Structure formats: structure tokens, C-alpha cells
């Protein structure tokens, strides 16, 4: 059998509208169009490279209840793979699933309609797949671990949150080990593990700002089992490989588009894998994601702060980018900085996310400290209460509660 060409992508989050406006051609938010175009780019590239199977590792939509238009656009792209005879595993991520244990996920419709070559992985299971060119493949799937599934059982209902998290982590480990044991029964068949969760040692990104609920972390050693020929993960938006080049590769492809400025410098894309039993050669393929640009300018030593800001903007290529401007200025300079002129200078940007004035204000002197940065949080809060004239008894009560909060952190 020839090697298996695998498309691995995740975290499309169709429906994100941050930093977008209405697109007159489609009637959709411009950022929604960005995410859809990146999905099309990934699928078209994979088809050009004669992809044999697609592993979508979760989070198709922004939330659990996508509107019919978003469902249509996602399905249209999955159908392109189906029409080409490419089996597609749709793993259920935390943004795809309902909070109720037995309620349908946003992806279950593909199973209900029995869409050809499409597998909805909504439970822990080892799937046996015949790829586009007839190659056999095993795919062990573990969707996002939802705490509410435990609450359906009597033994877990009286546990606190920390105990539930520990129980859920333990059950996930047991499931992964059981899937590995099952996969070993066919030692000659290439095997992929796919999961939607956080893994120890992974670098987090802006998914923290869009994450629904608390997170559970799986230890990396559970995934470094040689029974897996490739580990296809989703959930973390930053592309990374966690196994240091050893077998098997443990890979997050990352998201296809930037969610916010926390991902400004991260490359975005998907992964193509050439898979054989005991061997996986993989490549990160970067897509044409929307550029995010932060323009920082310090005018505190400038005699002409407005010109300094405009000159700084001229140094950047802002066409079709999402842009924000951060200006550091003295208090007396602030009235000279005109946002209207800044917006005009950014007229070719796709979206201006904001213009922020970081002003050194004289009021800081009221805190009566020559070294504000060296203060502890509690000391700074006490000085603030003094400056604000907070009543002494209330001041002591607030500081006492603040100390409890700070120490707990």
C-alpha cells in the first residue's frame, strides 16, 4: 500500500466576528469570511496534494449553536472532501458540544444524514477506516472531556470541582490506555490518535480567551506511546510539536486564523502528513491568514507628537491588516494627538481595532511614592485608598479581604 497522505487541521471557530464588519458581497461578517477562506485554502491545497484522509481535530464553530448559514458554509467545504472520496474524521471539540450529556453536538448532523466518507467522533472509540486509495487506517479518537458527563453518574455528583477534574483526568488516561491496547491488536495497520484537549508542556495561546469552562490537561507521556504513528491534536491555537522530533510526532496544527492580538506573531496553517506504519513525515503549511499589526510609538521626547505618530504609521504596511495604535505621551501632549488623523492614515487597513493613549498623568504623584513599580499589590492598594479618601474602617476591611484574595492566587 502507498503511504497515506493526511490532512490535519483544527480550531476553525467559524462565527468569530472580532475586528470585522459586514462584507457586502456575502452578507457575512468579514472575519467570518476570513475563517471560511482559510478552511477552503487548506482543503484545496490538500486535494491538490492527493490527500487520502482528513483529521479535523475539533472546534468547527465559535459556539455550540451555529446559525444555519455557518452550518451551510462548513458543510459545503466538508462535502468537497466527501465528493473526492476522502474519509473525514470530525472530532467533537469543546465549542462543538452541548453542555448536556446526551444532547447532540453541532457536528452530529453529519452522522444523522449519513454523509458519505464522514465520521463524527463524539465518543472515545477506535475507528477502522479505508482511505481514498484503499489503505487501511486506525484512528483512535478522544473528544473534549466534558465534566457534565460525569455528573450523569451518582458517584460523582457530590464531588467538588477539583475532585471532578481529577476524576476526569484519570478516566481520560484510562481511555487512552484502553484505545492503545485495542490498536495493538492490528500491529501492521498505521494508527493515528486524535484528541481535543490540552497536553502538559504545551504552550497556550489566545484559546484561553475563547475557552468554554475549565480545562483538563493530559500528560504527554500517555500520547508518546509508539503504537501511535501520529498524534493529531486540537484545542490549542499555537502550532507546535511536543515530542521533540521523537516518534510519534505529537502535533497541534494551531488555528487557521488569528483570534486576537495575542496571536499577532504566530504563523497560522495546517499540517500535511505522509504516514506509514512506524513512520510519519509531517509539514506545517502556512495559510494566508489576516495580518494583525500593532503600531507602538513613544512621543514623550518629541516636539511634534502628531507628526511623530504619522511618521511611525508610514513605516508599516497596513493594507488589509487589522491594526491597533498605542501612543505613549506626556499629559500635556495628549490634546495634540488627533485620533481623526490617525484613522485617516489607516484608511487602507481592513479594520482599526483601536487607538490607545498611554498618558503619563501627574495624578500618579498623589500616591506619594517615588517608586510605584516596586510596591507590592497590597501596598499599592493601601496607597490608592489613602489617595481616594476611603474611610479608615472600610479601608482596613477591604485590605483584609484583598490580602486573602492575593494570597490565594
Task: Among 286, 311, 329, identify where a domain stops.
Answer: 286
When mean pLDDT is compared across 154-158, 252-256, 307-311, 354-358, the lowest value belongs to 154-158
- In this prediction, residue 342 carries a pLDDT of 97
Dihedral (CA of 66, 69, 70, 76) sign: positive
CB within 8 A of 322, min separation 6: which ones? 19, 258, 290, 291, 292, 293, 349, 350, 351, 353
* Domain shared by 297 and 383, yes or no: no
Q: Choose one of 238, 271, 286: the last residue of a domain.
A: 286
- Domain range for 140 is 4-286
Q: Are residues 277 and 296 in the same domain?
A: no
Same domain flag for 44 and 133: yes
Range in 55-64, 160-169, 221-230, 275-284 with the lowest mean pLDDT: 160-169
User: Are 321 and 219 in the same domain?
Assistant: no
Is there a single domain that holds both residue 300 and residue 274? Answer: no
Average pLDDT over residues 16-26: 89
User: Do 55 and 8 sit in the same domain of this protein?
Assistant: yes
Q: Single out the residue of 134, 113, 43 nearest to residue 81, CA to CA.
A: 43
Note whether 331 and 379 are same-domain residues.
no
Report whether 107 contacts 120 (CB < 8 A). yes
- Residue 382 is predicted with a pLDDT of 85
**pLDDT above 70 for 154:** no
Torsion of CA 242, 244, 250, 256, to 10 degrees: 60
Nearest partner of 238 among 216, 215, 260, judged by Cα: 260
My answer on whether 274 and 229 are in the same domain is: yes
Same domain, 243 and 309: no
Instruction: Choose one of 286, 315, 342: the last residue of a domain.
Output: 286
- Determine the average pLDDT of the residues in 52-71: 93
| 300 and 380 in a common domain | no
Residue 394 neighbours by CB under 8 Å, 6+ apart = none
Query: Of 103, 47, 104, 119, which Cα lies nearest the Cα of 80?
Result: 47
pLDDT tens, position by position, 295-318 = 999 999 999 999 999 999 999 999
Q: What are phi and psi of 9, to 5 degrees?
A: -140, 165
Q: Is 391 exposed, middle or buried (0-12, 13-18, 19+ CB in 10 A)?
A: exposed
Number of Cβ within a 10 Å radius of residue 331: 12
How many folded domains does the chain comprise? 3
User: Quick one: 339 and 246 in the same domain?
Assistant: no
What does R_g of the chain's alpha carbons equal in angstroms? Answer: 25
* Same domain, yes or no: 342 and 395: no
- Please report, for the domain that includes residue 97, its CATH number: 3.60.21.10
Amino acid at each position: 500500500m502507498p503511504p497515506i497522505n493526511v490532512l490535519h487541521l483544527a480550531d476553525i471557530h467559524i462565527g468569530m466576528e472580532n475586528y470585522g464588519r459586514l462584507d457586502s458581497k456575502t452578507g457575512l461578517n468579514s472575519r467570518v469570511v476570513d475563517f471560511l477562506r482559510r478552511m477552503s485554502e487548506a482543503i484545496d491545497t490538500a486535494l491538490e496534494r492527493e490527500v487520502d484522509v482528513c483529521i479535523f481535530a475539533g472546534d468547527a464553530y465559535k459556539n455550540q449553536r451555529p446559525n444555519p448559514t455557518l452550518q451551510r458554509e462548513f458543510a459545503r467545504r466538508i462535502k468537497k472532501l466527501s465528493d473526492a472520496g476522502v474519509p473525514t474524521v470530525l472530532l467533537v471539540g469543546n465549542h462543538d458540544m452541548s453542555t448536556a450529556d446526551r444532547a447532540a453536538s453541532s457536528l452530529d448532523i453529519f452522522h444523522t444524514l449519513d454523509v458519505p466518507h464522514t465520521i463524527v467522533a463524539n465518543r472515545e472509540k477506535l475507528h477502522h477506516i479505508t482511505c481514498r486509495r484503499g489503505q487501511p487506517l486506525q484512528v483512535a479518537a478522544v473528544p473534549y472531556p466534558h465534566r457534565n458527563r460525569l455528573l450523569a453518574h451518582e458517584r460523582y455528583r457530590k464531588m467538588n470541582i477539583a475532585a471532578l477534574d481529577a476524576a476526569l483526568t484519570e478516566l481520560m488516561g484510562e481511555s487512552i490506555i484502553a484505545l492503545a491496547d485495542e490498536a495493538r491488536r492490528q500491529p501492521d495497520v498505521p494508527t493515528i490518535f486524535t484528541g481535543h484537549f490540552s497536553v502538559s508542556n504545551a504552550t497556550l495561546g489566545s484559546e484561553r480567551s475563547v475557552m468554554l469552562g475549565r480545562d483538563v490537561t493530559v500528560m504527554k507521556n500517555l500520547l508518546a506511546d509508539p503504537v501511535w504513528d501520529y498524534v493529531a491534536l486540537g484545542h490549542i491555537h499555537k502550532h507546535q510539536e511536543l515530542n521533540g522530533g521523537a516518534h510519534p510526532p505529537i502535533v497541534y496544527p494551531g488555528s487557521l486564523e488569528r483570534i486576537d492580538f495575542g496571536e499577532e506573531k504566530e504563523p497560522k496553517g495546517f499540517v500535511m502528513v505522509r504516514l506509514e506504519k512506524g513512520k510519519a513525515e509531517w509539514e506545517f503549511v502556512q495559510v494566508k491568514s489576516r495580518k494583525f499589526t500593532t503600531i507602538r510609538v513613544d512621543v514623550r521626547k518629541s516636539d511634534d507628537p502628531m507628526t511623530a505618530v504619522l511618521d511611525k504609521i508610514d513605516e508599516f504596511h497596513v493594507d488589509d491588516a487589522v491594526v491597533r495604535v498605542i501612543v505613549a505621551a506626556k499629559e500635556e501632549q495628549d490634546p495634540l494627538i488627533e485620533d481623526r488623523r490617525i484613522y485617516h492614515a489607516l484608511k487602507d487597513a481592513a479594520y482599526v481595532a483601536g487607538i490607545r493613549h498611554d498618558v503619563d498623568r501627574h495624578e500618579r504623584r498623589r500616591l506619594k511614592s517615588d517608586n510605584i513599580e516596586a510596591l507590592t499589590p497590597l501596598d499599592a492598594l493601601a496607597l490608592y485608598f489613602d489617595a481616594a479618601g476611603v474611610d479608615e474602617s472600610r479601608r482596613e476591611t477591604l485590605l483584609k479581604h484583598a490580602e486573602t484574595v492575593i494570597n490565594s492566587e
